[in-house]
Amino acid sequence: MNPFATTPAEVVTYNMAKVFFPLLKQVTLLQEQLAQEYDVNAIAADFTAVEAAGGADVGTPVNYGGYNSRDVWRWAAVTDAFEDLLAQSVTVTFADATTETLTIKTLILRHYLPFQG
């Protein structure tokens, strides 16, 4: 929290710029890194084979960090949805009625600096 903020608008602005968007940026970059480093289809095939053998169906954690493969399927669904969200475009209308359309990912990865009036 910014100790110099005097209004709710300043508190929210500071937290968005210094806390919220940096965290979103970290998550986005990590997700992108993992997607580039690992073959998601090969991992999914491993989980499918384990489940077909009955390991996850009987609740036995498989040897993937000690987590049940069904949890990993759930995480995969979330990351797929997150990727879809990042690819969506949003149009922002400013006070002067001009607009810009960017993807959510572009907005998250943008570097925000304080206004230097």
> What confidence tens digit (pLDDT) does each residue in 18-62 have?
899 999 999 999 999 988 888 877 877 877 777 677 655 555 556
Query: How many other CB atoms are found less than 10 A from the CB of residue 62?
Result: 20
Average confidence (pLDDT) over 67-75: 78
Question: In percent, how much of the chain has pLDDT > 70?
Answer: 81
CA distance 90 to 20: 18
**Choice between 117 and 5, residue whose per-residue pLDDT is larger:** 5
**The two structure tokens encoding residue 93:** 């209308």
Question: Cβ contacts of residue 71 below 8 Å, gap of 6+?
Answer: none
Question: In percent, how much of the chain has pLDDT > 90?
Answer: 35
Most confident segment among 7-11, 36-40, 92-96: 92-96
Question: Cβ contacts of residue 43 below 8 Å, gap of 6+?
Answer: 72
Average pLDDT, the chain: 82
pLDDT at 40: 76
